[in-house]
Amino acid sequence: MPADAVGVVDRVAQAVADLVVEDVGELVAVGARRGCGGLIRARLGEDAQIPASERFSTASCACLLLLQAAQAEGYGAQWLTGWPAYDREFLEGTLGLAGDEQLVGTIAIGTPAVEVPERDRPDAAALLADWHP
């Protein structure tokens, strides 16, 4: 992985860490040979002041900010969940998450080796409607 990519990830990770209050969400940066990424988890245990749904939403926002920051630096980035986000045995046994933690997503950051093809997307007009109170 290019040295400047490591610096980008470090800066993005620090920016996210600065934005996310402790015990709300956490970024765990990991390195790989050709890219890097991170795991975003939300701590959803008891909290008298911040509901679990808000803490999960905050961690989700951290995922989006990490994507945008990496892409703004010229790197490709993708936010994935899939089966690991819902398999408690994997989350706790393999990733070491506590029982009150939930995987919000894994973020992959790198330089695409090929042009990423556009995928079929639904027609936005078919999904939206005007609201009239």
Task: For 52-69, write each residue's pLDDT tens digit.
Answer: 999 999 989 988 988 888
Measured CA distances, 123 to 57, 116, 119 (Å): 26, 20, 12
101-110 and 76-80 beta bridge pairing:
antiparallel
Residue 26 pLDDT > 50: no
SS3 assignment, position 95? coil
Structure tokens at 57: 């939403």
Domains of the chain: 3-111 (3.40.109.10)
Confidence of residue 99 (pLDDT cuts 50, 70, 90): very high
SS3 content of the chain, % helix, strand, coil (to 5): 40, 25, 35
Q: Read off the tokens for 125.
A: 């007009």
Confidence of residue 13 (pLDDT cuts 50, 70, 90): low
pLDDT for residue 14 = 55
Q: Please give the Cα distance from 52 to 24 (Å, whole number).
A: 9
Q: What would the mean pLDDT of 105-131 be, rounded to a whole number?
A: 85
Highest mean pLDDT among 59-63, 68-72, 114-118: 59-63
Q: 20-24, 34-38, 81-85, 122-126: lowest mean pLDDT where? A: 20-24
Q: How far apart are CA 128 and CA 117, in angstroms?
A: 25
